[in-house]
Structure 1
Amino acid sequence: MEQTLSRLLVLDMPWWELVLRAVAVYVCLLVLLRVTAKRTLEQTTPFDLIVLVLLGTAVQNSLIGEDVSLLGGLLLAATLMLINAVTGRLATRFTAVDQKLEGKPRILACNGVIFRQRLRQAAISDNEFSSARRQAGIISVSQIRLAVLETSGKISFFKRQEKQ
């Protein structure tokens, strides 16, 4: 019993190494996720979900190393939450940080013309774009005044004014 309790509460490596691992993994994942296509949760496909689950599994050993103690897990969780809170605060205070982390909105279509290269760069298929257009109540491409890929991953549509 005493051995089990000490196994849960005694770190198997220095605390600073766990913190350093958490920071390194967080930064690496942030960069990797930033350079890949951005989607909102409602646009997440089963493939995206699989990648997220596998990412968690893939970085698990990078985070914990040989430490499987309860205290080590709690320290990692606290470190990740703190890093996330600091990152969020920096993004709200400094526009440059926000733009680096979140990116900038991109125009995907204007006055009925779809910019297909921008769709490809954003990893948005024609089907995804058409589905988002229909959900916005725009039947025809010619009705699009502007389509913008927001930093959240959502596509905003603005209709052309009807000629009277």
Structure 2
Amino acid sequence: MTHPALEMYDYHVWANQTILNRLKELPQDVYNKEIQSVFPTISKAIAHIYLVDACWLDILSGKSMKEAMADSAPLTAGVESKGMEEMEKLYVQISERFKTLLNQQENMEKRIMLDNPYAGQRDTSLSEMVLQVVNHGTYHRGNITAMLRQMGYASVMTEYALFWYS
């Protein structure tokens, strides 16, 4: 039986692809159009989800949070400058790396001492970190939905319950 955190990660991948597919249906300028919102552009929101995913992948791979955050900082400008098609490829690549790493884990409940430079230490499990990745993505896909509505476009449903039927 698949661990629930692995299924949630599959949902995360599906939801990211679903929102990217919706963005491809809209006029090209929507992706980089500047608006007054949580993020200045949808492209920056998409990049942010990716960069945080990359940071958590490094943490799950054994880096400290401080090291993972430092390693992701120089990537920001390059990732934020990518077009939608390039971001889609990056998402495919990172999801493959995530799945390879997660499928190699013998115990998703393995405990790790996470040292967050902003919040302190916390004993957590691999599965909890995966759920953090998923929850973070869900939160910001909601931001993207609000940004689309603000620009006059409908978004697309990315609810977990809809994923069950995909």
TM score, norm. by length of structure 1: 0.26
TM score, norm. by length of structure 2: 0.26
Q: Which has the higher contact order (CA 8 A, sep 6+)?
A: 2
